Chains A and B, each alone.
Chain A
Amino acid sequence: MVDVLTVLLASVAAGLLGSLVGLGGGVVMIPILVLLGVPVKYAIAASMVTIIATSSGSAASYVRDKIANIRAGMFLEMFTIVGAILGASITSLIAEKVLYFVFAGILLTSFFALRSRPPPETLPVVEQDRLAKALRLGGSYYDKSLGREVSYKMTRPLAGGIGMFVAGIAAGMLGIGAGAFKVSVHELILKMPPKVSTTTSNFIIGITALAGASVYFVSGLVYFDLAAPMLIGTTLGAVLGGRILNRIASSSLRALFLVVLLLVLLEMVYKGFTV
């Protein structure tokens, strides 16, 4: 039987590691819980609640620093919440076996996303389409490393919205933030600058997680005695990670996280075949 202290410690570790490599903790925390004997649907539901805390906590500072784009966030949330409700509803209904394989698929994409090096931070030149203009999607933020105000524009919000709907389904179904996927949509389709895309994604994840969590909440899959240590631990770990981020070499960390991802990936595939 799993106990509060084990979950608390595992969550601190997952939150710490997740924030250091820029992926959320959920994607490793759920397989860890499954390993500890927690039914996968309960793990997903508790993780969904946890993500509200971690993403809202970090979004708070990005929003106050005026880096996250609230307008774009609000627009894209329309799509992610519908996706998340759909995804969470699917999970409430389908067999566990299917979930393990879908989860393994997401872990595989995280593995490859993390393996490829992030592109250099260049600002794309953007020709806005009509909807982007009408929604006034664009803005500016103060870039500390450049020491000046950076202005930018966005484009193709509708195509971006469809991408975010898909991200919402994945997030709601698996109890994760799907941050890496959201950031890709922001940068590749909407042409957001990297700093704006990661912070705006964080802002959106809180609402997406709430939409998914509400479905799990009402369907009785959220067990509060599991969620409580998880959300305290993960948030502590994430705060700690944010503080030491600049002090450790990131390449060795990435290697460590890749190994962890590979291990939990194997675990999920194994569970999928044996359950």
Chain B
Amino acid sequence: MKREVNDLETVIGFILLGGVVVSLVVEGLGLLDYVITLGSLNIVFSPEWQTGGKDFFVYTWSVLASLPRGVTPVSLIGLGVILLMITPYLRVLASLIYFGVEKNLKYVLITAFVLVVLTASLLAY
């Protein structure tokens, strides 16, 4: 029992650190690409830099679908934000699986509640 809890901590630590590092690297590359291709550093607040009313999953799909056509600063930086937001989400998902394997019903319900609320808020507003 004690050992299993330690395993969850290792997995969660790995997900959190890995997710943040990968997303920061992608954001860094995106910014670099931004400066090189646009030759400007101004933050413009134009519609291409936000989601345009798409929910998280639809937006993620649109970014992923655009990648085969070539990487742009917008898609790279968008991808970095997606990777970052998915990090804590994966952490909750991993915990749910873990508590399920442990057959810990109370914590399965608690974690499932968190996951459902997060999914709903990512889906629609």
A140 nearest CB across to chain B (Å): 10
Complex CA distance for A272 and B51, rounded to whole angstroms: 29
Complex CA distance for A49 and B8, rounded to whole angstroms: 25
Cβ contacts B13-35/A at 8 Å (1 or 0 each) = 11011011001100110110011
Cβ contacts A75-105/B at 8 Å (1 or 0 each) = 1011001100100010010000000000000
Docked-complex contact A213 and B45, CB < 8 angstroms: no
Check A49/B88 contact, CB under 8 A, given A134-B106, A225-B43, A228-B30.
no
Docked-complex contact A85 and B9, CB < 8 angstroms: no
Check A228/B17 contact, CB under 8 A, given A63-B9, A81-B118, A207-B118.
no
- Residues on the B chain within 8 Å of A3, using CB: 41-43
Cβ contacts A59-71/B at 8 Å (1 or 0 each) = 1110110100011
Docked-complex contact A63 and B50, CB < 8 angstroms: no
Check A214/B122 contact, CB under 8 A, given A74-B95, A224-B78, A227-B81.
yes
Q: Answer yes or no: A2 CB below 8 A from chain B CBs.
A: yes
Contact check: which of A60, A71, A78, A214 meets B114 at CB < 8 Å? A78
Instruction: Give the nearest-CB partner of A205 in chain B.
Output: B88
Complex CA distance for A210 and B113, rounded to whole angstroms: 15
Q: Answer yes or no: A165 CB below 8 A from chain B CBs.
A: no
Q: Answer yes or no: A5 CB below 8 A from chain B CBs.
A: yes
Docked-complex contact A64 and B10, CB < 8 angstroms: yes
Enumerate chain B interface residues (CB-CB to A < 8 A).
5-6, 8-10, 12-14, 16-17, 19-20, 23-24, 27-28, 30-31, 34-35, 41-45, 47, 49-56, 59, 74, 77-78, 80-81, 84-85, 87-89, 91-92, 95, 106-107, 110-111, 113-114, 117-118, 121-122, 124-125
A-B contact pairs, 5 of them (CB 8 A): A63-B13, A213-B85, A214-B56, A214-B118, A218-B54
